Amino acid sequence: MSTRLAELKDIGIRFGDRQLLSNINITLHQGEIVTLIGPNGSGKSTLIRTLLDLQQPSSGSVIRHNTLRIGYMPQKLHIDPTLPLTVKHFLGLVRGVNKKDITPTLKKVGIPHLENSQVHVLSGGETQRLLLARALLNRPNLLVLDEPVQGVDVNGQIELYGLIAAIRDELNCGVFMISHDLHLVMAQTDTVVCINQHVCCSGSPQHVKDHPAYRALFGVPGADASLAIYAHQHDHVHDDSGEVVEEGHVHSASCKHHAH
């Protein structure tokens, strides 16, 4: 068995009287891609933030093994427009970075031509690649990616997932990422964990896809063909700037939460 990097043990998180997560157990290994899926508000980001020590669990513990070194890619990057910042300078902010690594890393994620561009003018896909570059420059053995394909069209998503898998093959690092869409990420994933406040089901992508709990959350049986073409279930609201409003979770017909 490959080296363990980090373990989430019986994680529970409670905000006030709302139990957001309970009894979550996940182990992350070197060289393994684990994808976390779940509906909006299911606690995916909170779980990732717990692993990163940005959020204290109410119960349970996070075990980080000595060798663990995380490269983190946040869900979005907001840089105040009053701050002039080029791609090169943004990447130069990584703690203890070797400036010589910046150009090769930009090449690796496919945006070498943007080295001197201002970060504010990048497109959605370019921004995601920039964030991936920043995560890589931290010399990680575990990549933690919070919706790495956000704001990217379907072709771009497939490319990005391919890139992430290629990086895993090259560095033999672990990958822990959040995805909205199992179908696009399936081919590049070893293990899928489907959560909605608790772990609904987990295992190989094929296993999860056929699991009743997954189907109850995400799909109608037999809809796979149409989902492969257009799998975006728009059960969240956007504000004026296009950001997802977390609180405004609108329940659609296909959104069946478990009764707890």
Partner 1 sequence: MLELLMRALLGGLGVAAVAGPLGAFVVWRRMAYFGDTLAHSALLGVALGFLLDINLNLAIVVLCVGLALVLVALQKKHIIATDTLLGILAHSSLSLGLVAVSFLDNVRIDLMAYLFGDLLAISQTDLYWIYGGGLLVMALLVAFWRPLLALTVNEELAKVEGYPVEAIRLLLMLLVAVVIAVAMKIVGVLLITSLMIIPAATSRKLSQTPVQMATFAGVIGCLSVCGGLWASYHWDTPTGPSVVVCAALLFLIAYTLPTRKMAS
> Does residue 93 belong to the site contacting partner 1 (CB under 8 A)?
yes
Residue selected from 20, 62, 68, 77 as contacting partner 1 according to rule CB under 8 A: 77
Nearest to 60 by CA among 8, 101, 122, 131: 8
Q: How many helices (H) and strands (E) does the chain have?
A: 9, 11
The stretch among 87-95, 105-113, 164-172, 204-212 that binds partner 1 (CB under 8 A) is 87-95
Minimum distance of partner 1 from residue 6's CB (angstroms): 13
C-alpha pair distances (Å), 203 with each of 37, 165, 193, 198, 208: 12, 18, 7, 15, 6
> Does residue 95 belong to the site contacting partner 1 (CB under 8 A)?
yes
- What is the x/- site pattern for partner 1, positions 129-168, by CB under 8 A? -----x---x------------------------------
Residue selected from 17, 66, 121, 222 as contacting partner 1 according to rule CB under 8 A: 121
Minimum distance of partner 1 from residue 235's CB (angstroms): 26
Please identify, using beta-carbon distances, which residue of 155 and 241 lies nearer to partner 1.
Answer: 241
Tell me how far apart the 2 most distant CA atoms of the chain are, in Å: 53
* CB-count exposure of residue 203 (10 Å: 0-12, 13-18, 19+): middle
Size of the site for partner 1 (CB under 8 A): 27
Please identify, using beta-carbon distances, which residue of 54 and 187 lies nearer to partner 1.
Answer: 54
Close Cβ partners of 47 (under 8 Å, ≥ 6 residues apart)? 8, 11, 13, 21, 24, 36, 195
Measure CA of the first residue to CA of the last residue in the chain; give whole Å.
Answer: 35
Cβ atoms of residues 7 and 26 within 8 Å: yes
**Residues that bind partner 1 in the complex, under the rule CB under 8 A:** 52-54, 70, 72, 74, 77-86, 89-90, 92-95, 118, 120-121, 134, 138
